[in-house]
Structure 1
């Protein structure tokens, strides 16, 4: 996010219809990323968990929207208090904001900035859900979202982007959410899974994606929406910085996808669709904090490094025994750390700000700032998220029963299944009276065949 701009009354900005329209479109693109994430995650799980995975993302659209209007925007972007949190009574309920009131030094209304930031707040807890697939009570997850955004996301967003936030004032560069979104969500995912434990059959039963076309659809929509996520974070494009971010988003994502696929081919002998989708997301994550600071050549480096390192990192869960179901830690935490730290190497000092990285004569100063931002957010989110999960786990219970997990959380938590196979087929046979169909998912599980 760009810093607030102080202006004299005579030089006060006027509302720009072009920037306002642009930011509303970007807000809609970022909103699209949450259902896109639902498709991406939904295709990666087994059939019996598909709907639950979709709903774990969709419910964030409901819960976080209401909390953001009630108090979240005020906590994140209100008047600073001690460099840790914000608060402005006018922002509570968004009730004290004038229709034409402009955001701090910019040419867009406060309402537009608020709704753009809302979509970030919605997406971030949804990212966590991929680590918890197959085994979490839906009511517990909904309560966790409400608590987590209140005590983790809203404060961290203020640290990173709020005027007066301590990381903001230190000069930590996070263009669109490497720390506030991806490291925050990835560290939270790790904290929760360390509390709730592994899925039944982890490292024993096959747990392959049930629909790779759905994964690719989700990845493609995420890539599309990410242009709004990244380019929109400059809050306009009067100086061309947003355009640079747009280009770097495309470039880094392409490089990361190719690097991941190359790793797969060398290591496993094949170019997989899951690898292409995962590599693209890793590149999107890594360029998010860095894209306003680096050149297109730097973006290639950031993407390629992220694609390779994240491909290696997703295997760590088998080595260390933590069950990160859909590689949230390996992609979002690791990718966010890589992108944030590489700012300290590849920042040119000529785009977003004059802060230059090590490779452009800036020494180690910016790298040091980036490291502080990375590890402060990582530690805070990890610890607090684990504590929240522990409280819920010990009170209402975070996990479904083992038998319910084996039979499938879709039926238990939502009383539905993703696919109705009873109407499959055609011809004369389909018009004959036939016995009620056997639940194919349950039958497959009873034979210990991966659904």
Structure 2
């Protein structure tokens, strides 16, 4: 585990996943109004600053539990990592801490896309801190740190059943978590002024494409980074090809739907399909044969392309389709394993038990995350206010909130 190659890989993977959050900032930034791009990107960079600090102070301590029924770890057990940094094996453990921090950061940053063009920065940071503390940190413990989701299979079917929830890289903890919270915040802040289909066009499509490229680049660390813990990194090849293939198939699935619906494929649609495929393969990257990964990616592209229009039918303003991409894509990838996981899925040699635990785990995270985000957001909105006023929203929030403009046009 402490071989030089493994250590080099986890440092690389940590940097790759950290780069994904600036990738989100570019991806989201290109999609909003030109006068809101600074605000949109600052929400991601603010999340990097605050979540990284909280993770070092107490988040990592909360992300592991000693018993499946424990809600979260004791935040004061190793406050500031004093014991970890001076203990035996500190070099290896601190690498695990750093890698885990990048997952916490991007999970919360993803939520910001649902409230683009209308959120104040200070209340957003308050939400970030609260949601990370009682939302992400405990859920990370449930999924990967010894909590109830990690032990759900043995709890329901016995320790010898071989059944366990599969979420290799964050279908539940990252994408369902972020997507459910995004839906909650979209409901709390309400609709943008003039909300309707086609309310605005992306102000900078190349910026969005750059963000998508950074996301795909970083996603190899996101999905394959944890393999550093295995001595031979025996699944890294499978994870890499599935990460490549599912994303590529997602592009094709999305632009096919665009061609059928609108008569032409778009570049924003292509990179949205790319992200949909990546989201769906995240929980399944180490447990699908490559052919099944291609099918998952294509299905994700199709399903998410169709899901993004639900906000107009159901009347919630998820500005940048976090729900349609991350909640729908995360649910699809997590449940798909119940049918096609290698040797365990319903159609690949298993039975209904894996599907059962996948449904319970994904549903539990969805409900909990939505409730935490909705209550937190509502308290902020009713006390100090979360949303900018109407004049600032129409004019663009960059100058009002940050005193900056994204583009300085000089004659």
TM-score by length of 1: 0.86
100 and 93 in structure 1: CA distance in 2 versus 1, 3 angstrom threshold: closer
Q: How does 1:313-328 map to 2 (within 5 A)?
A: 313-328=307-322
> Do structure 1's residue 32 and structure 2's residue 25 form an aligned pair?
no
Partner of 2:156: none
Partner of 1:344: 338
- Name the SS of the counterpart of 1:260 in structure 2: helix
46 and 113 in structure 1: CA distance in 2 versus 1, 3 angstrom threshold: same
Greater displacement, 260-269 / 118-127: 260-269
Q: How does 1:424-443 map to 2 (within 5 A)?
A: none
The count of residues paired between Structure 1 and Structure 2 equals 399
Deviations 1:384-409 (Å, cap 9, x if unpaired)? Answer: 11000110000000101111111110
Shift of 1:308: 0.4
Deviations 1:195-236 (Å, cap 9, x if unpaired)? Answer: 110011111773110011001000000000000000112334
RMSD of aligned C-alpha atoms? 1.5
> Do structure 1's residue 44 and structure 2's residue 27 form an aligned pair?
no
Quick one: which of 150, 156, 169 aligns to 1:168?
150
- Alpha-carbon distance in 1 for matches of 2:272, 2:125: 26
Partner of 1:447: none
Partner of 2:161: none
- Name the SS of the counterpart of 1:86 in structure 2: coil
| Contact preservation (8 Å) 1:233, 1:242 | no
Partner of 2:361: 373
Shift of 1:341: 0.2
Gapped regions of structure 1 (runs ≥ 5):
1-13, 350-355, 424-451
Gapped regions of structure 2 (runs ≥ 5):
153-163
- Name the SS of the counterpart of 1:85 in structure 2: coil
Shift of 1:82: 2.9
Quick one: which of 22, 43, 61 aligns to 1:56?
43
Quick one: which of 384, 395, 404 aligns to 2:383?
395
213 and 39 in structure 1: CA distance in 2 versus 1, 3 angstrom threshold: same
Shift of 1:87: 2.8
Partner of 1:432: none
Partner of 1:157: 140
Shift of 1:242: 2.1
411 and 239 in structure 1: CA distance in 2 versus 1, 3 angstrom threshold: closer
Shift of 1:18: 1.2
Greater displacement, 222-231 / 242-251: 242-251
Partner of 2:372: 384
> Do structure 1's residue 334 and structure 2's residue 328 form an aligned pair?
yes
- Alpha-carbon distance in 1 for matches of 2:102, 2:204: 27
Larger radius of gyration: 1
Deviations 1:141-175 (Å, cap 9, x if unpaired)? Answer: 01100000001000001000002x00001121100
Q: How does 1:215-234 map to 2 (within 5 A)?
A: 215-234=208-227
| Contact preservation (8 Å) 2:20, 2:215 | yes
- Alpha-carbon distance in 1 for matches of 2:234, 2:244: 16
- Alpha-carbon distance in 1 for matches of 2:15, 2:131: 24
248 and 75 in structure 1: CA distance in 2 versus 1, 3 angstrom threshold: same
